[in-house]
Amino acid sequence: MTIGSHITTFAGRPVAEYPADLGEASRAGTAWRLEDPDYEGGDEFLARLDALAAEDWVDRVGALIIGNWGSAYESAPPIGRIAEVLPRFTGLTALFLGEMTFDECEISWIQHTDVTPLLEALPRLEVLTVRGATDLSLKPVRHTSLRELTIESGGLPADVVRAVAECDLPALTHLELWLGTENYGGDADVDDLAPILAGTRLPALTSLGLRDAEIADLVAVALAGAPVVARLRELDLSLGMLSDEGAAALLAGQPLTHLRKLDLHHHFIGAAVLERLTAELGAAGVELDVSGADERDWADRYIAVSE
């Protein structure tokens, strides 16, 4: 699987390009997308950022999508400049950083830096999505408004996972981490996830996604006895290398019948274990996604999103 198209909605709002769609899109109720049309980059991204920040309706921008800032494969986003203007977006509650397709920049090539200033600049932010994780960093912070945090990557560094686990996010209900593969910097293990799985952090969490994971079986084994599972409504282990070992551990562990949804799509679970999952959880009314079954040998298995 590759990310081949741009999102058309974000945070419940239709996406419009700035400034191309100014004549058609509403000023409010729109997720505005900013990018540099030149992949090699220049000053166009910053010019568009400053122009949007200077609009007399900037206070009505509720969602902002930042695409290619120019040469994203070799240059990190200008976080300092972005954070400097963000306080003008007084109505902003949703932000997507790095919304690029593979032909603009492969997910594991997207360069990043410390994104903590974005959270510090937007105390009312409720939704933050970051795509890409090369050189990504985050300092543990307290943020009382954030409800959804997603980091999409082909390989998520352990220090970022640990930083997320150390954050004080009392309102967070949805956490989604694409753990990826070690080949692209995904060196996190289940010990790094321990504070999240223990349920001692993120008290409002009801939806947990540990996706695109090479270590999906180890994650499933840890989840089988993890205290946080008891208060989840949705659990997502999709896009990774989950096999019979991990699926059997889920079945043998604590009950999952309280879940509203369990997403395992793109997996390597055999027919026998798959039948047990379907019988036990499907009968309990759990919405179960086990599409994308593949029974190839271990050496040929792969996560859905890497490069």
Domain ranges for the chain: 9-240
- Quickly count: other Cβ atoms within 10 Å of residue 184's Cβ: 22
Give the CATH number of domain 9-240.
3.80.10.10
pLDDT at res. 164: 97
| Phi/psi of residue 184, nearest 5 degrees | -120, 30
Token readout for 5 is: 């198209």
pLDDT at res. 259: 96
What contacts 251, CB < 8 A, 6 or more positions away?
273, 276, 277, 280
- Distance separating alpha carbons of residues 133 and 153, to the nearest angstrom: 6
pLDDT at res. 1: 63
Alpha helices in 87-243 (DSSP H): 116-121, 158-166, 190-197, 216-223
Burial 72-94 (b: 16+ CB within 10 A, else e): bbeebbbbeebbebbeebeebbb
pTM of this prediction exceeds 0.75? yes
Helix (H, G, I), strand (E, B) or coil at 91: coil
- Distance separating alpha carbons of residues 89 and 105, to the nearest angstrom: 27
Q: What average pLDDT values come out for the chain (307 residues) when binned by 10 residues? A: 89 94 84 88 88 94 95 91 96 96 92 96 97 96 98 97 97 98 94 94 96 97 96 97 96 95 96 94 93 84 91
Token readout for 169 is: 């996010």
- Distance separating alpha carbons of residues 176 and 173, to the nearest angstrom: 10
pLDDT at res. 105: 87
